[in-house]
Amino acid sequence: MISFGTSGWRAVIADEFTIHNVRRVAQAVADYLFSEQKTFPSKEIIIGYDTRFMSEDFGKVAAEIFAANGFFVSYSNDAVPTPTIACEIIRRKAAGGINITASHNPPQYNGIKFSPSWGGPALPETTRLIEENCRAIENNPNAIKIVAFDDAVKAKKITVRSFKKTYFTRIEQLIDFDAIRRSKLHITADVMHGAARGYLDELLENNRIPHIAINTNRDCLFDGHRPEPNGEHLARLVSMVKSHTRTFGVATDGDADRFGIIDIDGTYIAPNDILAVLLDHLVRTRKWNGVAARSVMTSSFIDAVAQYHGVAMRETPVGFKYIGDILIKEPLIIGGEESAGLTIRGHVPEKDGILAGLLVAEMVAMSKKSVRAIINELSKKVGTFLTARMNYRLSDDAVRGIKTMFANNPPKTIAGNHVAKLVTLDGYKCVFDSGEWVGIRLSGTEPVVRCYIEAHSKKALTVLQHAMQTMIQTQK
Ligand code: G16
């Protein structure tokens, strides 16, 4: 059963993520694109891959299917960030693109992200059709067309290319590298053995920003942990930042669409805070107005900043596809998620960890302040927002129990807080009279239930954490 989650299809290598299943998914995407030919007649497809085990080989497997189906394939000559593929889809007016990646998942996983011609992650109405095509192919394996990679290269059906140039130009238009250079800020870039190697470090090098890049070698085991740039996995970056003065740390995940920020004193800064300070930075430095967007379990710190600047806020289910969709349709200033994804006006409708890290560096350089100092100043104006996220591996019965409880008898109070609003955009979010809230939902990328909490004080955060833990544990 091949199913697309929050972003793409992900599965354990050699279990479900096999050459056969990659062929099935590629054929299913090709069939989908054929069905779209009336509205978008391009015959070009972009194929990239990350640094995971055999990703380039799985990419070739997919390229063989698209070429056999009559598509012209632009196949990346190296591991490539997901946002770079988005850029290339748009520039070449391609029918779409796929990236062989399992993003931030553990090393045992691989996956396929598919983006249609608009460049953002496919929306559910698209992935549903691809899933249906996969099922149809299962019953008719002869439906899979294949041509050998080398033969397709000779026949000019597949062209091996670098996608760097357009992407670098775009980033250089969006980021004030002169300001970073003038500030003499030193950047330590941790690419976590992922697809930002040769991208983030080269951009810094080309723009003469003093920097050190770490974890640039390919390591399919990602140092034994998943390539997720959060507080748990950036110990080396933290110690590098702490041991150098005026050094700021930026990190990117396996396919370089997520960011991690280490402030100049070596502390990890949560993406929720980064979204809020960047909205403020963009409004002040670019003089942009319009709308901002965040997914439902993202902190309302950014809402408070939006309100302060008279910017409208859009709330979406979890998944960058929904934020990308807003960027296409509305004058978006910034859109982001608590899971460390963001994009801004003028960029692709896909999250970009490289852009995010450089933008925060620009903000630090221009303000000559630490990120923490900027957060504290902003909090004085708009309020304090503290957040926590817990992940639980629960039995199917426990998950059913939680769903039934919220669907049939949602709590009226939690830890003495009256639930003023129940938001059901994605999972369940209980918003209290104070504006503090708790949320619970099933992850679409990992086999876990996620619980999110936001409070205005440490005490309230701890109380709500305990209350949610108890609520979840009673379901076990
Ligand atoms: C993916 C999606 C994001 C989403 C994140 C977490 O990130 O692209 O939009 O916020 O997963 O989703 P979930 O909570 O359902 O696991 P990535 O970087 O893995 O593609």
Per-residue pLDDT of the chain (476 residues; tens, 9 = 90+): 899 988 999 999 999 999 999 999 999 999 999 998 888 889 999 999 999 999 999 999 999 999 999 999 999 999 999 999 999 999 999 999 999 999 999 999 999 999 999 999 999 999 999 999 999 998 887 999 999 999 999 999 999 999 999 999 999 999 999 999 999 999 999 999 999 999 999 999 999 999 999 999 999 999 999 999 999 999 999 999 999 888 899 999 999 999 999 999 999 999 999 999 999 999 999 999 999 999 999 999 999 999 999 999 999 999 999 999 999 999 999 999 999 999 999 999 999 999 999 999 999 999 999 999 999 999 999 999 999 999 999 888 888 888 898 989 999 999 999 999 999 999 999 999 999 999 999 999 888 999 999 999 999 999 999 999 999 988 75
Vertex 72, ends 326 and 155: CA angle to 5°?
Answer: 170
For residue 253, the ligand 1 atom closest to its alpha carbon is 18
Compute CA 41 distance to the chain's CA centroid, rounded to the nearest angstrom.
29
Helix (H, G, I), strand (E, B) or coil at 167: helix
pTM for the whole thing? 0.96
- The C-alpha torsion from 277 through 5 and 215 to 184, rounded to 10°, is -20
Closest CA to 348 of 368, 327, 369: 327
Cβ atoms 93, 169 nearer than 8 A: no
Closest CA to 350 of 99, 78, 58: 99
Centre of ligand 1 to C-alpha 99, Å, is: 15
Centre of ligand 1 to C-alpha 69, Å, is: 30
What kind and span of H or E run contains 335?
strand 332-337
What whole-number distance in Å separates Cα of residue 242 and Cα of residue 308? 34
Centre of ligand 1 to C-alpha 103, Å, is: 9
Cβ atoms 364, 248 nearer than 8 A: yes
For residue 443, the ligand 1 atom closest to its alpha carbon is 15
Closest CA to 289 of 279, 303, 302: 279
Centre of ligand 1 to C-alpha 339, Å, is: 7
What whole-number distance in Å separates Cα of residue 226 and Cα of residue 192? 9
Q: What residues are in contact with ligand 1 under a 6 Å CB criterion?
A: 6-7, 103-104, 253, 257-258, 318-320, 337, 339, 341, 443-446, 450
Q: What is the DSSP string of 139-152?
A: H-GGG-----HHHH
Vertex 278, ends 274 and 281: CA angle to 5°?
Answer: 145
